């Protein structure tokens, strides 16, 4: 293994170990997805069924899985601010490798952690009553989850690279992450909505993550699973490049 790949591996492994040690963080990050799943899944289930939508848990669960991935991945960017304040980032940046490799290692580490979080949320969805209708498509669903995790982790990388105040990060996350989630169609069907809202939802990358999981785990996809994966991959590549560029311009 070359020095560049070794740095990527070490940074990725470091974030995974940090995540596994933080039991309170694991439990806390599960709170919001499970609250949405239980409160909305069972609360709005009868209304959704009477409206002809069928089982609301089957509709809601893919969006809740993406929600768990989204929040965990984006908030991994706060670790850059933390490491900058406590000096670890400076030690990392003096390593004999390019900042691009460091950024890739951090992005990949955040993506792996978010992917694990998504798997945990998926297990809870199964316990709550969600059923995978086509088991053969499960590998495709896992691929969509991981690409989504990379995309959202790149967003966190980009924001963590330009922010210096740790207190500002949660405020920006709430301003950005919550609209991304609510405009993704995770909580309500996209058909029949006003055209301006449909345009905003099509421009939302989270929409394609939710739609890809609906197409592989449960209901039919609105855009097509192939289209969803292509869009997710293209946006993830673009955002990883932007995040790596912003990270390379960090001044200590």
Which residues, at least 6 apart from 31, have a Cβ–Cβ distance to it below 8 Å? none
Q: Whole-prediction pTM value?
A: 0.88
pLDDT of residue 90: 65
pLDDT of residue 7: 62
pLDDT of residue 6: 67
pLDDT of residue 96: 62
pLDDT of residue 172: 73
pLDDT of residue 102: 77
| Residue 79: C-alpha distances to residues 105, 141, 164, 212, 244 (Å) | 13, 28, 11, 29, 15
pLDDT of residue 251: 67
pLDDT of residue 18: 64
Tens-level pLDDT at each residue, the chain (252 residues):
566 666 666 666 766 666 665 555 666 677 788 888 888 888 887 887 877 777 888 888 999 999 999 988 888 777 777 777 766 666 666 666 677 777 788 888 889 889 989 999 999 999 988 888 888 889 999 999 999 999 999 998 888 888 777 777 677 767 888 889 988 888 888 887 888 888 999 999 999 999 999 989 877 788 889 999 999 999 999 999 998 888 877 765
């Amino acid at each position: 293994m070359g020095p560049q790949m070794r740095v990527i591996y070490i940074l990725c492994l470091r974030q995974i170990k940090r995540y596994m040690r933080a039991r309170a963080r694991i439990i806390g990050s599960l709170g919001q997805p499970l609250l949405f799943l239980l409160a909305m899944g069972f609360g709005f289930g009868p209304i959704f069924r009477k409206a002809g939508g069928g089982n609301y848990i089957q509709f809601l669960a893919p969006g809740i899985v993406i929600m768990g991935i989204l929040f965990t991945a984006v908030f991994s960017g706060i670790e850059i601010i933390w490491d900058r304040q406590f000096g670890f980032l400076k030690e990392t940046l003096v390593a004999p490798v390019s900042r691009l490799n460091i950024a890739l290692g951090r992005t990949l580490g955040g993506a792996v952690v978010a992917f694990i979080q998504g798997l945990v949320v998926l297990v809870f969805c199964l316990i709550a009553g969600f059923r995978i209708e086509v088991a053969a498509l499960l590998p495709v669903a896992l691929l969509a989850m991981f690409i989504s995790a990379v995309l959202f982790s790149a967003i966190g990388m980009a924001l963590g690279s330009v922010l210096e105040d740790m207190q500002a990060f949660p405020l920006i996350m709430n301003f950005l992450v919550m609209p991304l989630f609510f405009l993704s169609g995770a909580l309500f069907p996209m058909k029949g909505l006003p055209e301006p809202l449909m345009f905003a939802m099509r421009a939302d990358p989270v929409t394609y993550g939710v739609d890809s999981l609906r197409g592989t785990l449960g209901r039919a996809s609105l855009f097509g699973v192939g289209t969803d994966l292509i869009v997710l991959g293209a946006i993830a590549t673009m955002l990883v490049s932007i995040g790596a560029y912003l990270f390379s311009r960090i001044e200590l």
